[in-house]
């Protein structure tokens, strides 16, 4: 069993936990553009209701996670945000 740190406790309260968590990452077999856009919109709608959205986004930035919706942003949006911060 992996010990959880106190700073990762936000994950327990995340709105994305549960049966819809598959919306936050692309399927292994790929998806059409319209399918991706629909999946991302649904995931982001869940993020908008989440009390720990900022913690989630900070976590993604720390990990430099390249895939999925984290903190309400997809990988392209996070990349753009990192580029803006670097300026």
User: pLDDT tens digits, residue range 16-33?
Assistant: 988 788 899 999 888 999
Q: Is residue 24 part of a domain?
A: yes
Q: Is residue 71 part of a domain?
A: yes
Domains of the chain: total = 1
pTM above 0.75, yes or no: yes
Q: Is residue 2 part of a domain?
A: no
Cβ neighbors of 8 (< 8 A, separation 6 or more) are 59
Residue 1 binned pLDDT confidence (cut-offs 50, 70, 90): very low
Residue 4 binned pLDDT confidence (cut-offs 50, 70, 90): low
Q: Is residue 72 part of a domain?
A: yes
Please tell me the predicted confidence (pLDDT) of residue 66.
Answer: 77
Q: Is residue 47 part of a domain?
A: yes
Cα–Cα distance list, 67 to 2, 5, 40, 79 (Å): 23, 23, 12, 11
Domain region containing 48:
7-86
């Amino acid at each position: 069993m992996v010990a959880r740190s106190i700073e990762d406790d936000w994950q327990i309260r995340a709105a994305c936990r549960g049966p819809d968590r598959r919306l936050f990452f692309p399927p292994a077999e790929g998806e059409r553009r319209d399918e991706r856009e629909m999946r991302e919109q649904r995931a982001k709608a869940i993020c908008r209701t989440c009390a720990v959205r900022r913690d989630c986004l900070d976590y993604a930035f720390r990990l430099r996670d390249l895939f999925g919706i984290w903190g309400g942003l997809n990988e392209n949006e996070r990349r753009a945000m990192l580029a803006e911060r670097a300026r």
